[in-house]
Amino acid sequence: MRFLPGLISAILVVLIVSTWGSVSEASIPPLQPPTGNLPAITYYTNASSHYTITQSEWQSLFTNVYDNSSYVSYNWSKNVTQYLIIFDLSYTGLNPYGLQFVEALSTVGFPSVGNMTKAFNLTKNENSQISGFTNIQALDAQAYPGFSWSVPKGVSTTVQYEEWGALLVIVASIFALYFIFNRKK
């Protein structure tokens, strides 16, 4: 009977370790490709001038910037949901990174490929919604910078060490508590 607390602790550790990765994967929403045209987005460069980014301009942006290996190392052109880089899950509005991009474009000018490239360069080193990643780091790691649930591929070794460190702390705590509460009196 005196080994019962240790057995319970061991079962808890196994449950925690076995569900560790599945909890984060369960929070990723299902991703669908766009079913229609991408929305036209109007932005202002000053109080009286405004421009609208149309379907063809969005496609030029993706073809010339996000699918260009000189800007982004991951080949997004093979990903049917690549427009989620800019848009929300319903493809009707902008996600936080898309908003950041359009705000940068409003400081540059009209939506030409050159100006969109400048706006991309203005935002690439800003923090993404993914903790610990800039926008370009997220894009290079196959993650959508505008969504905190997006999981970068090839997670950095720092993150891996943090996860293993947390697991080690949990196991050490269980052993310490076991010996503290199981002392003979």
Q: Where are the domains of the chain?
A: 4-27+156-181, 41-140
In tens, the pLDDT along 4-25 reads 555 566 565 555 555 554 444 5
The answer, yes or no, to whether residue 149 has pLDDT greater than 50, is: yes
With bands split at pLDDT 50, 70 and 90, how would you rate the model's confidence at 168? confident
The pLDDT of residue 23 is 41
Q: What is the band of 134 on the pLDDT scale with cuts at 50, 70, 90?
A: very high
Q: How would DSSP label each residue in the chain? A: -TTHHHHHHHHHHHHHHHHHHHHHHHTSPPP---SSPPPPEEEESSSS-EEEE-HHHHHHHIIIIIT-TTT-SS-GGG-TTGGGGTB-TTSSSB-HHHHHHHHHHHHH-S--HHHHHHHHHHHTTSB-SSTT-BHHHHHHTT--TT-TT---SS--HHHHHHHHHHHHHHHHHHHHHHHHHT---
Tens digit of each residue's pLDDT (9 = 90 or more) over 70-124 = 999 999 999 999 999 999 999 999 999 999 999 999 999 999 999 999 999 999 9
